[in-house]
Amino acid sequence: MPIDHSLGRNVHFYDASKPGITLGGLIQSGSVTEANFLDMIGILLATETPLRVQEKTSGHVVATTNNPLQPGEYDVYCDMHIFPLEKESLWIHLGYSRWITDMEDAVGISKINSLQNRFLLRSDIHQLFDQYLISVNPDDNYKIVVFDDDYLGLDGWILDPVCCDPANPHRVSDQLLRWHFRQSILANMRGVGEPTIEHDFPSGTDTMTEIREGPYAQERLEMEFASRLRAVG
């Protein structure tokens, strides 16, 4: 059953021109600064004018500072429309290989197996990452942001420097981290959020049926078929 990502949110934001209509929100576990919040809203909303974000009760105007964002309800003042979630599709179809720089001589392959597209995660953390419930912001010192209840205590940690050492040709790709962070914002912060996608099916589960009956069935079936073909090859 899809999870309602709006549950547990302690930050909510609204279109100031339409009082009472919630645009979205997030769970602030402590790592999100005011500057981070403005960047997130900029990703979430397609704005035509500069935006101003103001806390409803105190009147505090959110600024580009490193002060922690305070839980509360915020009005967003600007001309905007909700930016659509970018649905997942095949790696090659979307051209993600252009972000891989450690396999320049590879011809005719997707480069999806590059070390730049991997970094080691504990299995439980890996599932949260796959579900966009935890992400890394490469534009804020590689800070880890948790978009769900932070029961593992990871919110605000910094990615191990060995993963992003600019001198290492196999470092994790900033562009791919940035893409994942953007998808996490789109999946978790708008409206009730996007449905959480199951990746870890119990033994004996009819995986293909579960995918067909779940969210984004077409895109996920393409990914599943591609994964199985790679395994056979």
pLDDT in tens, the chain (233 residues): 455 667 789 999 998 888 778 889 999 999 999 999 999 998 888 666 678 999 999 999 999 999 999 999 999 987 654 443 333 344 444 454 444 444 454 444 444 444 444 455 677 887 888 888 999 999 999 999 999 999 999 999 998 887 777 887 767 778 888 888 988 898 899 876 555 554 444 555 554 555 455 555 555 445 445 444 444 44
pTM: 0.67
Select from 53, 84, 64, 38 the least CA-distant residue to 191: 84
Per-residue model confidence (pLDDT) at position 171: 75
pLDDT of residue 50: 79
- Residue 15 phi, psi dihedral angles, 5° rounding: -75, 115
Q: Is 229 left (phi over 0), alpha (psi -120 to 50) or beta?
A: alpha
Take residue 61 and report the two structure tokens written for it. Answer: 């105007």
Q: Given this model, what pLDDT does residue 218 score? A: 52
* Predicted local confidence at residue 144, as pLDDT: 93
pLDDT at residue 217 in the model: 52
Return all residues near 118 (Cβ < 8 A) that are at least 6 apart: 172
Residue with tokens 């001309």: 79
Class of domain 11-78: alpha beta
Collect all residues with Cβ–Cβ distance below 8 Å to 84 and sequence separation of at least 6.
Answer: none
- pLDDT tens profile 14-43: 988 887 788 899 999 999 999 999 999 988
φ, ψ of residue 96 to 5 degrees: the values are -65, -20
Between CA 3 and CA 221 the distance in angstroms is 21
H helices of the chain, in order, are: 34-44, 91-94, 123-130, 174-189, 207-212, 217-232
pLDDT tens-digit readout, 159-170: 888 777 788 776
What ranges do the domains of the chain cover?
A: 11-78, 82-183, 190-232
Helix axes 174-189, 34-44, angle to 10 degrees: 80
Predicted local confidence at residue 121, as pLDDT: 64
